[in-house]
Structure 1
């Protein structure tokens, strides 16, 4: 009887230990699962936060990209406008003011009479215009008529025409451009301007001048190069 009692106590003790072990293992696993769930939830929250931040960064980058495109477009428009204005200026389609030189040509005295034939036959005005361009001239006018690459200088009866506009002597050639080059040109002792005085009954005077005003061309024509007929 006593042995049976001891056996029951021993069996109960062993069973209690086994049950305790099983419960402890279950609790440990439950704790581990809870901890893992907590980690997963934390990672999910962190991922959501990262995604939200990335989306915000994406929006910022898209706005910056949009601003850059708009700014680039403005720059391109500004550059195109600048090119257009430069083209209009070069074609003499705008008024302009600047420093340069003035060349005056007239007969040496009244006995010479009308010098238009001398000027035209020897292409004097054309040669001077081309010389000025080669020596830093950017904008040129003759008797207040603007010259561009389409201008035609021709004899029309007893006077010179620039395009369809008649001009009469004396001839005043104004040129705006690189002042140092232009000043050197009009000072050349063996240059074309001195050659005119030596070879023709013409008087040529020159001077450097500031703030020359030129109006835009009145009648542009379709000729490509400056020529005489």
Structure 2
């Protein structure tokens, strides 16, 4: 009888112990589920917050891109204006190019203005230079553009309504390779000048040339060859 009683007590003890373990596991699992739920909610809130921040950053970046596009467009317009100013001769230009000097072969020849103008020597040189790499040209410090005039006025030549005298120093800035090829060619127009008109022609490739801007308002007259 006593043995049966002890067996019952032992069984009750085991059942109580197992029940305690089960209850403990239940609360533990419930605690874990509650914590996981909180973590998920926290992550969702954090993600939503990050999305808002990224959305703001995206709008900010889009605005900056539009500003950059606008500035780039303004820069293009500014570059076009500067290029136009250079072409029209309204700003100084610097670069490498070619120097040409036209003069009489000796002092006995005297004034060569009539010969140069009648044969359109300066006009022909200018037009030939333009198709051989010349971009910016001046003669005796008179800047040329498409509106410049080269004409005889009495005993001297006028450029941009300004009288110039011999020797005629032509400064050219442009493609150095093309200009070098131009003066190295045989039987060029420059070679024919010395032979046909008793003129001395000197040429030199120069790395540092400055051509100053025009100092007068342009007249609407085009440079033309023969």
Q: What secondary structure sits across from 1:172 in the alignment?
A: strand
Describe the SS at the equivalent of 2:171.
Answer: strand
Write the distance in 2 (CA, Å) between the matches of 1:150 and 1:143.
17
Asked whether the 8 Å contact 1:150–1:226 carries over to 2, the reply is yes
Where 1:141 maps in the other structure, the secondary structure is strand
Summarize deviations over 1:163-221 as a string: whole Å, max 9, x none: 11110111011111111111111122200001111111211111111211211111241
Alignment size in residue pairs: 190
Between the aligned partners of 2:61 and 2:84, the Cα distance in structure 1 is: 34
Q: In the alignment, which residue of structure 2 is the partner of 1:136?
A: 133
Match of 1:103 among 83, 100, 114: 100
Q: Residues 134-174 of structure 1: CA distance to partner in whole angstroms, max 9, x if unpaired?
A: 10011111011111111111111111111111101110111
Q: Does 1:89 align with 2:92?
A: no
- Kindly indicate whether residue 117 of structure 2 is the aligned counterpart of residue 120 of structure 1: yes
Corresponding residue number in structure 2 for 1:163: 160
Q: Decide whether the 8 Å contact of 1:139 with 1:176 is kept in 2.
A: yes
User: Structure 1 residues 121, 215: CA separation in 2 closer, same or farther (over 3 Å shift)?
Assistant: same
How far apart, CA to CA, are the structure 1 residues paired with 2:98 and 2:41? 80
Q: Matched residue of 2:187: which SS?
A: coil
Moved more, 124-133 or 219-228: 219-228
Q: What is the TM-score when the length of structure 1 is the normalising length? A: 0.74
| 1:1-229 alignment, distance < 5 Å | 54-223=51-220, 225-227=222-224
C-alpha distance in 2, partners of 1:182/1:134? 10
Taking a change above 3 Å as real, the CA distance of residues 54 and 224 of structure 1, as seen in their structure-2 partners, is farther
Find the residue that maps to 1:103 and give its secondary structure: strand
Q: Is the 2:142–2:160 contact (alpha carbons within 8 Å) kept by the matching residues of 1?
A: no
Within 2, Cα distance between the matches of 1:180 and 1:45?
70
> Structure 2: any 5+ residue segments left out of the alignment?
1-36
Q: From the CA coordinates, give the structure whose radius of gyration is larger.
A: 1
- Which residue of structure 1 lines up, in the alignment, with residue 9 of structure 2? none
Q: Which runs of 5+ in 1 are unaligned?
A: 1-38
1: CA distance, partners of 2:72 / 2:110: 57
Distance in 2 (CA, whole Å) between partners of 1:135 and 1:227 is 16
The TM-score, its normalising length taken from structure 2, stands at 0.75
Following superposition, the deviation at residue 47 of structure 1 comes to 8.5
SS at match of 1:204: strand
